[in-house]
Structure formats: structure tokens, C-alpha cells
Amino acid sequence: MPTLILKPGREKSLLRRHPWIFSGAIHSVDGNPASGSTVDLLSSEKLFLARASYSPTSQIRARAWTFEDEPVDEEFLRKRIRSAIRSRDIWNLEPDTDSYRLIYAESDSIPGLIVDRYNDVLVLQSLTAGSELWKETLADPLIEETGVATIYERSDADVRELEGLEPKVGILRGSLSTHHFPITENNLKFLVNLQSGHKTGFYLDQRQNRLRVRELAKDRDVLDCFCYTGGFTINALAGGAKSVLSVDSSADALELCKENIVLNDLPAGKHASLEGDVFQLLRKFRDERRSFDMIILDPPKFAPTSAHAEKATRAYKDINLLAFKLLRPNGLLVTFSCSGGVDSALFQKIVAGSALDAGVDAQIVGHLSQGQDHPILLSFPEGAYLKGLVCLKK
């Protein structure tokens, strides 16, 4: 088996069971490993550390499959898949919810593989050379372990380019009669675009946070920014909001949001939507002296890595400052960051600075995160990307 020999002292992260090895940590490559193939990771003293997949074009040159001297084969992967699926059973999400994350890449010890269940369809994302090599092998045990007949592939994330991989979208197993696929979450229904929707079609990581908004929205005028297809909007209306204004730059997403309102038999007369740039519209609302009892900010990823943190900080501060200005006294700001390059401490500091610059006093009355089906491996803190705050304006 090909081997990667590390530079002296660079084995520390592997000894802490962190699965990534960067190119700068490698002293030499023994053999000629192909993209995605399995390699042994050895210390500078030639001691075995881990068995990993090889990514020749990525800065993350290897991702550990296992820290034991064991074969990485179909049976190995089947056990990992089975373990990930069984761990979701603990949370007893069904029957109120039929859609959730089954496999969360490194956090489930299957680097680069995302699998989301949408009712009786699995949506698979292969993000790395290793998961790409094993993709066809992984598909069969996924079907056998879940009893699902259809796997739809959404391997179109930008990070594949860093692995030297082309985007791939389409049926991997089975068939699909529609791309606007109905799902149930916390007893509400949503149509999900599996073909071209964000991520794998829906923001499954916000499931618990949408429910929290439902609990807080009663009798409030709500502004849902970056609303996408209306996850928070639908929950606010279901929770008895007085009104909801949904804002997004995508006309298609807003149209699906309206369809979801009808699907749940919610009062359309309490809802309005507005297509446009959220930053510009928040300034327009400020100039018009509009105000709301609850504002939800769930923007896209402003900082995929720490290198983008400075630019992202300005963007997060801008929208949160404007939101604080638009909130009425005792109003609630529910604000999120899904940027891996902005940790929880920095995000809280940004929101605090926004309140200060807006000239308001506010309290944190809740911390929000990703759901239990997006677990965070203790040795892989990078798995914690979604952070949120519920702030009360005094």
C-alpha cells in the first residue's frame, strides 16, 4: 500500500484523532497513489498512524478513514454507514419528521460523504476524492440499510473543484418522478427542489431552530430575511404570527415559499413576499421607518474559511446593525452564521458590536446550533459550523 511519511512533529493532530493531514505536513510519498486511493500515514519514525484517502490536488492531502490497522473495504464502509444510521434512531425524529441527515462526513467517520434522507429518497453528496472513488460501492449498502430505493446525487458543491472533481447531478440509483419533492418536518409540509435547491435541497440543519421560531412568533410582525423557500416563514405563520414578510433574491424560491404556505393551509393574507437584495431592502425599510417584532437573519455562507473572516465580519455587522434598528422594543432578533471561518465567539462579538453601533441595548436569550443529526465529533471541531443567537431588544 502507498504510504505518506510525515515530517517530524507533524503527527500530533493524528494522535488527537483529527482526520485531516495537510500537504505541508508530508515529508514524502512512497509509491504512486491514485486520486481517492487508500494510503497509510506514517510518522517520521515510520510508525503507523492512520489509513486514509489520498487527494493529490487538495491542500488537505489525506483524510483518515481509520486510526486502526484494518482494511478499508466494502464491509468497513458498510459498518460505518450502519453506525451512522443507528445513531439517528436515538433521537426518534419520526413520525413528526421524515427528512434529516443520515451521514455527516468526517463527523460520522466517512470523510467527504453527505447523505440526507428526504422521505423515501436519499440525496448523496460526494465532496472528496476518497468518497468519489467509493461512491458506487457506498450506494448499495445505503439502500440495503435504509430500505430506500432511490438515491439522487447532488455532488455539485464548489469544494469538489479543490479535489480535481467535476460536478455531478442526477439519479445514482432508482428513479424520481418529480424534483419538487414533498417532505414533512415537525408536522409541517414542504416542497423541496432536489435537483437545484440549495445544499441537498433544503436546510435540514435548521430543523430545531425553525421549531423555536414557531414557538416565539405568536402575535408578532415577522421579517424573514434570506427566506429561501420559507422554512422559517411557514413556522412563524404556524406559530400564530400576526404577519410575515419574506425576503429573498430568488423569485423561484419565493414562489416555492408561497406554494408551501398553501400546502400547509396557512393564512396567505398574513403573508407578503419581496424579491431583492436583503442589504438594500433593510436600508430601504430603515429609511421608511418600518419596524418589526421579530427579524430572522439566515444569510448564505459569507466566510467559507478563516481567510474570508474579515470581509464576512463587515457583512454580518451590516445586516445585524440594520436589524437592530428595525426592531421594536421587546422585539426578537434570530440571527445566524453558517460560515466555518467565523466561530461562535467571533459571531457573538459581531452581533454585540452591531447592537452598540445601532445604539440599542439587547440581551442574548438563546443560543442556537445545528440539529442532532448534524453531530460534532469532539476530535473534529470543524464540524460545528452553524451558530445562532436569539437577542431581545430592550
* Residue positions annotated with a catalytic role: 338
CA–CA distance, 233 with 226 (Å, rounded to integer): 11
Give the three-state DSSP class for 207: helix
For 123, phi then psi, to 5°, come to: -110, 120
**What's the distance, CA 11 to chain centroid?**
29
Do 328 and 291 contact (CB within 8 A), yes or no? yes
Q: Which three cell numbers stand for residue 129?
A: 476524492
Q: Which residue has cell 425599510? A: 285
Kindly report whether the peptide bond that precedes residue 95 is cis, defined as omega within 30 degrees of 0: yes
Rg (CA), the chain: 22
Residue spans of alpha helices (H) in the chain = 12-15, 74-89, 129-133, 135-146, 207-216, 231-238, 251-263, 278-287, 309-326, 344-358
Give the three-state DSSP class for 328: strand
Q: Outline where DSSP puts E strands in the chain.
A: 3-6, 20-22, 26-30, 38-42, 48-54, 60-66, 99-104, 113-118, 121-126, 150-155, 168-173, 180-185, 188-193, 221-225, 243-248, 271-275, 292-297, 327-337, 362-369, 387-393
CA–CA distance, 271 with 385 (Å, rounded to integer): 31
CA–CA distance, 263 with 230 (Å, rounded to integer): 12
By C-alpha distance, which of 331, 354, 344 is closest to 386? 344
> How many residues in the chain?
394
Do 131 and 113 contact (CB within 8 A), yes or no? yes
CA–CA distance, 383 with 394 (Å, rounded to integer): 34
Q: Which three cell numbers stand for residue 257?
A: 415559499
